Amino acid sequence: MSWLAALGLLLLQTGASGFGICPGKSLNHQEITEEALLNVTAHVCQAVALAEGKDFTFPTLTPQSVAVACGASKSSKCFRQTIKIIQNSNKRVDARPPYDPRYHFDNEKFTEGKKIITDGLIAVKASNEINNFVVAREKLGQILHPLQDFYSHSNWVEMEMDVPNSNLIKSDSSIGDIAGENRATCRDCVGDDCTNNIFEDILKEKILTSGYFDYQVLISNKPTGKCSHGGKYDDSSEIPPRGGISKDTLDSSHGNLHIEAANLAIAATSELLEDIRGAAGDKTFLQFMGISKGKALCFVIDTTGSMSDDIAAVRTVTSAVINSRVGTVDEPSVYILVPFNDPDFGPPTKTTDPNVFNNSINSLVATGGGDIPELSLSGLQLALTGAPRNSEIFLFTDATAKDQHLKSTVTALIEQTKSVVNIMITGTLGGRRRRRESGVKSDAQLYRELAQLSGGLAIEVSKHELSVAISILTKSSSSSLVTLLQACRSLKAENFTFMVDESLSNVTVYITGTSVAFTLISPSGVSQESSSATGSLITASESVGNFKTLQLKTQPGLWKIKMVSTNPYNLKVIGESPIDFLFDFLEESQGPFECLDVVGNRPRAGVNGSLIVTLTGSESATVTEVILVESSGLREVPGTVEALDGGDYLAKFVRIPTEPFVVLVKGKNKNGSSGFFQRQSLTSIKASNVTVTSPDSNSILVPGITLSIPFFVTSGAEGNFSIRATNDRGFNSSFEFLEFGGCGYGSVNLTAPSTTPPGTDVTLTIEAEDPGSADMNYVVLRFTVLKTSIDPEDFCSGDLWY
């Protein structure tokens, strides 16, 4: 991309339409997508049940009912999350500039639009084949957008076609005759009535055309005689032939055909999902949808010479997990193993087969790594990019990190994936190393910070205690684990409260820290001191190294725990319950619509902001309060809560804290008589004054061909940004960056070696830091390596850049 083009891109503040992205009476992309995802998933579960000779009652199409009908009620949160990821990635095509007509089938870009779909479909299937569901879901959302827009923006519906155009998803077939460049397709509309503006011969001969769309362009895109998209954002509809043909909403130029178009879009989406199912098989398809299994089991292991005891402990616990959970609802959905040593790390093993996983754990050998420290953060980076969101990752090491320069990248990935990192530190880190290297943090401080900001634990135990510690932690890795409270404090006595609701079982308190004393007080006022290991409130307790767990007697109501410590400690209260929540920050869409778009990185600091909260696991529970709680415990910002459709809530805050914080949700479960509940997010959230954005690209990387990825940075303050561009595969990359007056733009060149196997995913993290304030923000981009026929010119030709 040239700098001139980059500047053009900055000036081009646009984004165009499709089925309305704002909530309203009309069906929008999100509803169309959800309807089809629920429909096909329910059909797949039906087929699986019938094949197993089980009864199946076809559910009403809600995420909760479909998950229950699929016999996977515990995965309803994951299913809900999958749907949201696909919806958001679909919606982003509209919400993020630059506007690209190919993604909307505008401007008669039929061949180009179809190519986006068929190339993307290849990428989805290739990613599913290697269990890379993270990339597959994002890609799916991206190609559903043009697929659905075809029915709204072309004249397919006007040609009285009542089934989807199946050739849109087939690489080698024609989608029909497309109007020639010089063929007039539309006449001026008569007054406000635009229903008969497409020429009769076009419709009779079944010639495909679509509306042209101009948004703040200097020279119109629309050739003489062509139809326009229409609507208030499309300037071309003022140029004869006036009016438009879009069916985006009931109020659009062809709004009378909106329902037909939306129904065809649902059917076409179902058809594309069926195609993916056919390639993946039912079992993999359900995993792709986030249905049917427990959480990921993810180990990151130091394999240097001194780690043989640790590896043995990991073997034991792996066998225990496999033996106790395979075949149950808590069977891990995927197993991930990332070894690291020095100078090597990876490759990750990622499998759904417990035997394959057991074998790869068995084949780990502790060798090498003479000069401690090791590449632990490189290993962790691969685990974070490879694991599903909200995963729990266990990292085992006995050495400090050599690659501390990756700390901010790992931080960004923890925030972005909301995954929890538990770090098992065996032995005293200093003990293995006599010499201190300058700039390398000593001891376990870096590990403690990373575990803490992810909401995980840094457990420091001797090698012979490791088996006990890890088996305590993995025992409670049920997929319906929820967090009631989590807090880290240093040198501070504090009284905490937490609400235990009737849906909870197995309420457990985790404490890490040395010399921590506490008093527990039950809702009925009974109290118990930490000095008595068991009593009427604690049914079981275990203690190893700096780590202690207490199983509480389950008694609904408000509990208190008074903590007294002269050392830093971490307190975490968890339990098992179907009721949990998902959330995303929202920002003003950068497109022309007055809408809110999901923020994929740090939200803006110090200004107002909104959150979308989705309650999962119960159709009767409601949210009453959403509170941003500073991680230090010092301040809280309560939000105003408004119920939206389908279990979603919009929470608005007058100010997003400038200090790190977590999200606390309180609500009422109508199921219970006392019914109040609370749930807390784990990852520590940081807001930022810096913004980093990158337009969604094709996200396909061709081996041996350099892809240029543009990005933009803004900040309220003047300053020199430091830019970092890191990828998890060690591919060659370079960047250039130009800055002026608090904002800047640049591009990263990324190249996959020509020998990279197809289907490989690579995650690129671009960070911008304002060195004055150490304020940082980032954008995380995922690519699939595929040999396709993509012409690199596609990225910078045509009307994409002007």
Ligand X SMILES: *[C@@H]1O[C@H](CO)[C@@H](O)[C@H](O)[C@H]1NC(C)=O
Contacts with ligand X by CB under 6 A lie at 36, 39-40, 43, 266-267, 270, 274, 319, 322-323, 358, 362, 475, 493-495, 503, 505-506, 562, 576, 578-579, 586-587, 605-606, 608-610, 618, 652, 658, 669, 671, 688-689, 706, 708, 716, 718-720, 732, 734-736, 749, 751, 753, 773, 775
- Distance between CA atoms of residues 530 and 547, nearest Å: 14
Shorter beta-carbon distance to ligand X: residue 68 or 217: 68
Distance separating alpha carbons of residues 162 and 164, to the nearest angstrom: 7
Q: How far is the CB of 434 from ligand X (least distance, A)?
A: 36
Of 180 and 753, which has the nearer Cβ to ligand X? 753
Write down the least CB distance from residue 116 to ligand X, Å.
22
- Give the span between the Cα atoms of 355 and 491, in whole angstroms: 46
Instruction: Closer to ligand X by CB, 531 or 673: give it.
Output: 673
In the complex, the smallest distance separating the C-beta of residue 518 from ligand X, rounded to whole angstroms, is 11
- Return the amino acid letter for 550: L
- Residue 463 or 475: the one with the smaller Cβ distance to ligand X is 475
- CB-nearer residue toward ligand X: 463 or 652: 652
Of 174 and 355, the one with the shorter C-beta distance to ligand X is 355
**What are the DSSP calls for 273-316, one per residue?**
HHHHHHHH-HHHHHHHTT-SS---EEEEEE-SGGGHHHHHHHHH
Residue 168 burial by Cβ neighbours in a 10 Å radius (0-12, 13-18, 19+) = buried
CB of 207 to ligand X, least distance (A): 27
Half-sphere exposure of 551 (CA within 13 A, CB side): 11
Min separation Cβ 701 and ligand X, Å = 12
Which amino acid, one-letter code, is at 732?
Answer: N
Strands 527-529 and 609-616: what pairing? unpaired
Looking at the Cβ atoms of 43 and 407, the one nearer to ligand X is 43
Pick 568 or 719: Cβ nearer ligand X: 719
Residue 5 buriedness (CB in 10 A; 0-12 / 13-18 / 19+): middle
- DSSP secondary structure letters along 225-243: T--B--STT-GGGGSSSPS
Strands 547-552 and 596-598 come out as: unpaired
The secondary structure of 606-664, three-state, reads CCCEEEEEEEECCCCEEEEEEEEEECCCCCEEECEEEECHHHEEEEEECCCCCCCEEEE
Q: How many CB atoms lie within 10 A of CB 423?
A: 25
Minimum CB–partner distance for residue 492 and ligand X (Å): 8
Closer CB to ligand X, residue 32 or residue 450?
32
Q: Cα separations (Å) of 728 from 287, 417, 762?
A: 24, 15, 6
CB 256 within 8 A of CB 233: no
Q: Beta strand 420-426 with 392-397: parallel, antiparallel or unpaired?
A: parallel
Residues paired with residue 563 on neighbouring β-strands, in sequence order: 494, 518
Sign of the C-alpha dihedral, residues 257, 258, 260, 265?
positive
Between 209 and 349, CB nearer to ligand X: 349
Cα 509 to Cα 125: distance, rounded to the nearest angstrom: 42
Nearer to ligand X by Cβ, of 13 and 658: the residue is 658
* Backbone phi and psi for residue 594, each to the nearest 5 degrees, phi listed first: -85, 75
Work out how close the CB of 608 gets to ligand X at its nearest, in angstroms, rounded to a whole number: 4
For ligand X, the closer CB: 195 or 749? 749
d(CA 67, CA 580): 15
CB of 200 to ligand X, least distance (A): 31
The H-or-E segment that residue 385 falls in is helix 376-386
| Of residues 191 and 327, the one with the C-beta less far from ligand X | 327
Task: List the one residue out of 757, 761, 758, 704 whose CA is nearest residue 732.
Answer: 704
* Those residues with Cβ within 8 angstroms of residue 392's Cβ, 6 or more apart along the chain or in another chain: 295, 296, 298, 419, 420, 422, 456, 477
Indicate the pairing of strand 557-565 with strand 547-552. Answer: unpaired
- Helices of type H across 326-375: 354-362
Q: Residue 753 Cβ, how far from ligand X at the closest point, in Å? A: 4
Give Cβ neighbours of residue 23 (< 8 Å, ≥ 6 apart). Answer: 644, 645
Angle, to 10 degrees, between the axis of helix 407-417 and the axis of helix 376-386?
A: 20
Cβ proximity to ligand X, 367 vs 608, nearer residue: 608
| Least distance to ligand X, CB of residue 761, Å | 17
Least CB distance to ligand X at residue 708 (A): 5
Q: How far is the CB of 705 from ligand X (least distance, A)?
A: 9
Is the distance from CB of 214 to CB of 255 less than 8 angstroms? no
Q: What is the dihedral of CA 561, 566, 568, 569, to 10 degrees?
A: -30
For residue 530, the minimal CB distance to ligand X (Å) is 15
Q: Which of 397, 393, 581 is nearest to 483 (CA)?
A: 581
Q: How far is it, in rounded angstroms, from Cα 700 to Cα 135?
A: 10
CB of 1 to ligand X, least distance (A): 8
Q: For ligand X, give the closer residue by CB, 203 or 320.
A: 320
Residue 198 CB, nearest distance to ligand X (Å)?
Answer: 26
Residue 174 vs 497, nearer CB to ligand X: 497
Report, in Å, the least distance between residue 593 CB and ligand X. Answer: 12
571/488 Cα distance (integer angstroms): 6
Question: Judged by CB, which is closer to ligand X: 58, or 171?
Answer: 58
Q: Smaller CB distance to ligand X: residue 24 or 704?
A: 704
- DSSP assignment, residue 58? P
The minimum distance between CB 707 and ligand X, in angstroms, equals 9
Provide the minimum distance between the beta carbon of 153 and ligand X in the complex, in angstroms, as a whole number: 20
User: Residue 257's Cα: distance from chain center in Å?
Assistant: 34
